[in-house]
């Protein structure tokens, strides 16, 4: 009887050890890759500030830290605002913008690939300070929506997987228009007279160089 009990306990102990071995032998899930990104580029498009909505150009810089497919970014922009050259009233200024954004990667090459390509979208917010050349300031917050692509090369021999390449994107900035005393009117053929829009939409095409790991 004693031998039977001992054999039973030994069998149970062996089975429990086997289960523990199976449970602990499973590899842990890999951690989401971390990444750093920096970029410098140019901006071309049209900047709106009330009824001033001419051609605009400037520069942009940014840096971000990513975990997996998501990245938090900080941006700095400096660009012109003004009337087009064919308009009678010429008003011109310069805008300084600080912003932050959350970027999500829709499709990207793997970290082991020598080709670094990334299709992404971005939502953010910022603060604009527009200084008119002949005096006056316009300060306001804005919202940002952008879509873009990065294309470059990755050093697969480096532990850091350093990347260098180019980027281009389309960016829209939505901000509240400055106060206006304009009466309801028709700026063109219309069925109803209205006041000017209460929102300014600035559209830009950005392009430049980017690097990171």
| pLDDT classification of 137: cutoffs 50, 70, 90 | very high
Tell me how far apart the alpha carbons of residues 200 and 129 are, in angstroms, rounded to a whole number. Answer: 14
pLDDT, tens digit, for every residue of 68-119? 899 999 999 999 999 888 877 889 999 999 999 999 999 988 767 778 899 9
* Domains in the chain: ranges and CATH: 31-178+193-212 (2.40.160.20)
Give dist(CA 95, CA 128) in Å, integer.
Answer: 6
Task: State the pLDDT at residue 21.
Answer: 40
Which residues fall within 8 angstroms of residue 7, CB to CB, at 6 or more apart?
A: none
CB atoms under 10 Å from CB of 36, counted, come to 15
- pLDDT for 147-196, tens place per residue? 999 998 887 676 667 889 999 999 999 999 888 777 788 877 888 888 77
Record the tokens describing residue 11, joined without a space: 């069998």
């Amino acid at each position: 009887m004693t031998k039977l009990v001992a054999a039973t306990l030994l069998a149970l102990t062996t089975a429990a050890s086997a289960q523990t071995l199976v449970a602990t032998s499973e590899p842990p899930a890999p951690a989401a890759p971390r990444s750093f990104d920096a970029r410098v580029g140019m901006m071309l498009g049209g900047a709106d500030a009330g009824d001033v909505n001419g051609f605009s150009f400037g520069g942009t810089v940014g840096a971000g830290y990513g975990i997996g497919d998501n990245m938090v970014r900080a941006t700095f922009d400096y660009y012109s605002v003004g009337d087009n050259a064919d308009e009678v009233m010429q008003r011109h200024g310069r805008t300084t913008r600080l912003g932050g954004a959350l970027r999500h990667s829709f499709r990207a090459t793997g970290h082991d690939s020598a080709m670094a390509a990334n299709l992404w979208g971005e939502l953010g917010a910022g603060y604009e300070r527009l200084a008119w050349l002949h005096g006056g300031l316009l300060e306001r917050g804005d919202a940002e929506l952008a879509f873009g692509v990065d294309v470059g090369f990755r050093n697969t021999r480096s532990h850091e997987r350093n990347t260098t390449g180019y980027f281009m994107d389309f960016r829209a900035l939505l901000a509240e228009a400055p106060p206006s005393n304009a009466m309801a009117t028709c700026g063109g053929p219309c069925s109803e007279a209205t006041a000017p829009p209460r929102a300014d939409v600035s559209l830009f095409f950005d392009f430049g160089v980017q690097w990171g790991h």
